Amino acid sequence: ITYEIVLLNWEGQQHPWHIHGHSLQIVGQGWLDPVAEWRKQRFNATRFDPKTAFDHLPDHTKPAPVKAQVDTFTSAPHSFVVFRLTADNPGAWMMHCHMDYHLEAGMGMLWSVEEDGKYSLPPPPDDFRVCNRDATYAAARALQEGTAAARGTQL
């Protein structure tokens, strides 16, 4: 499956983005305020018109010329970047701003890429602790399955 994502940067600073486990195809970019691109003038959010801002982008239902294939890119201040991600590498893959304090503040996400609703990874060991408690993966699995073993185990 290939997804097309429009990443908006409403902030007055640039952000270096990085994705793990995949590469992205950059297919477009633009400015939220075309008059203020690269800070030529003061940014004014009222000049952003979502009805016209994306008019120059290729049709998302058709193949698009790829400007770059990357695992890291920078979103300029008050801009947007359009990328396509082909989710073909199973696992939970992080995408985040490479400025550590931004990541710490929540500027990151996980792409959960599954095959038939599962990862092609083995389950954790039965004694693996879950939720930072005394519960184990085996107890959580048993509880979910509703087995007799779960009834005697408190999570």
Contact 36, 43 (CB under 8 A): yes
Q: Which residue has the tokens 């193949």?
A: 63
Stated as kind and residue range, the H or E segment containing 148 is helix 148-151
Helix residue ranges per DSSP H, 12-146? 100-104, 137-145
Q: How many CB atoms lie within 10 A of CB 44?
A: 12
Q: What Rg, from alpha-carbon coordinates, does the chain have?
A: 21
Instruction: Please indicate, yes or no, whether the overall pTM of this predicted structure exceeds 0.75.
Output: no
Task: Check residue 132 and give its pLDDT.
Answer: 62
Query: What pLDDT is stored for residue 151 in this prediction?
Result: 53
Q: Which residues contact 79 (CB under 8 A, 6 or more apart)?
A: 9, 29, 30, 31, 32, 37
Give the CATH H-level superfamily of domain 2-123: Cupredoxins -  blue copper proteins (2.60.40.420)
Cα–Cα dist 143/153, whole Å: 8
pLDDT for residue 67: 92
Sheet with 2-9, side-by-side order of all strands: 2-9, 79-86, 24-31, 68-70
Structure tokens at 136: 């184990």
- In 3D space, the residue among 109, 100, 102, 72 whose CA is nearest the CA of residue 11 turns out to be 102
pLDDT per residue, tens digit, the chain (155 aa), is: 899 999 999 999 999 999 999 999 999 999 999 888 887 889 999 999 888 888 888 888 888 889 999 999 999 999 999 999 999 998 889 999 999 999 999 999 999 898 877 777 778 898 888 776 678 888 888 887 875 444 555 54
